[in-house]
Amino acid sequence: MKILVTGGTGYIGSHTVVELLKDGYEVEILDNLANSKASVVDVIEELTGIKPKFHQVDLLDKEATKKVMQEGGFDAVIHFAGLKAVAESVEQPLRYYENNIIGTLNLLAAMKDAGVKRLVFSSSATVYGDPGKNAYTEDLPTGQNIASPYGKTKYMIEEILKDEAVADPEFEVMLLRYFNPIGAHESGKLGEDPNGRPNNLMPIIMKVAKGEYPELSVYGNDYPTKDGTCVRDYIHVVDLAKGHLAALKNMKPGVKIYNLGSGKGTSVLEMIAAFEKASGEKLPYKIAERRAGDLPEFYAVPTKALEELGWKTELTIEDAMNDTIKYLNNF
């Protein structure tokens, strides 16, 4: 099978490309390098012995996207490309709507033209908004009280894909709702290296560990959780990457939706302790104000992915911390 991976030089995309190549898939990457580096393609080659064809193309360039699709002869597309910085999306909503939604529409138009009928989409647990429970199953309502324009783009794209699957009964779509991806490749050669100031916990922990930031601000310790700090379902990026292979192997006409998470909740203080244990060093932190839009606690109910895709997480927070530290030491 030949797969086009949009956003394939990014954090989750690059780990997925490695797993796809290891499993015998043929892969091409499309990315505009807005949040990644072309050198990732060389790292992928180093890890797999295969250098995937790389198209430096912006999905907002409709004609260039069509050309890649026409020439590629793809069996499926995995669509990671998008902007994902939550705070930035609040400041620049139009840029986020344009990039994520128009980019996806251009991709869909190109797929239609070329007769490509399978799409795996990177969605997020953020589409559940604030559903009033901590354990998320796929049948919870989506779209209500989503905290950011970024999150709304994920919800809107899900709806667009559902509509297209009604219109075209041959269209096969997987909506994969990720929980909180962390960690790096076990080689320490691939990891998360965002351009600009990160928003997410692990990249900030990494910057504090490197001394680039003086300390971590823990956003609130008075939540109704086990230690007062927020609880999330952190998932090792390699487990997440493998979830995409499980999805590809189980595609059928229509829309299928899966949570990709571990089912376990970990607090911010537990994450700090896990990092300290793995690194053997103290991580400076202070308790700060709550961050607007944060929910106290949520985690996946990952049963559907296990039952229908045969997929579950295998790596632990400890593995993720050890791999992150290997990556940190390389860069």
Q: Which residues bind ligand UD1 (CB under 6 A)?
A: 84, 86, 124, 126, 147-148, 151, 180, 199-201, 204, 216-219, 230, 232, 268, 291, 293-294
Q: Which does 147 bind (CB under 5 to 8 A by kind): ligand UD1, ligand NAD, none?
A: ligand UD1
Q: Which does 265 bind (CB under 5 to 8 A by kind): ligand UD1, ligand NAD, none?
A: none
Give the footprint of ligand NAD on this chain (CB under 6 A).
7, 9-13, 31-36, 58-60, 80-84, 99, 103, 122, 124, 178, 180-181, 200
Query: Tokens 């400076």, residue?
Result: 284
Cα gap 28→185, rounded to integer Å: 20
Closest CA to 103 of 182, 175, 36, 156: 156
Closest CA to 256 of 315, 189, 305: 305
Residue 75 or 276 having the CB closest to ligand UD1 = 276
Residue 51 or 290 having the CB closest to ligand UD1 = 290
Q: Could you tell me the smallest distance in angstroms from the CB atom of residue 232 to ligand NAD?
A: 10
Q: Could you tell me the smallest distance in angstroms from the CB atom of residue 253 to ligand NAD?
A: 24
Number of helices (H), then strands (E), belonging to the chain: the values are 12, 15
Q: Could you tell me the smallest distance in angstroms from the CB atom of residue 5 to ligand NAD?
A: 10
Q: Which does 161 bind (CB under 5 to 8 A by kind): ligand NAD, ligand UD1, none?
A: none
CA 261, 266, 271, 277 dihedral sign is negative
Q: Could you tell me the smallest distance in angstroms from the CB atom of residue 92 to ligand UD1?
A: 15
Residue 85 or 165 having the CB closest to ligand NAD = 85
Cα gap 240→261, rounded to integer Å: 8
Other CB atoms within 10 A of residue 290 CB: 13
Cα gap 90→75, rounded to integer Å: 36
Cα gap 66→295, rounded to integer Å: 40
Annotated catalytic sites, by residue?
150
Cα gap 326→270, rounded to integer Å: 20
Residue 21 or 268 having the CB closest to ligand UD1 = 268
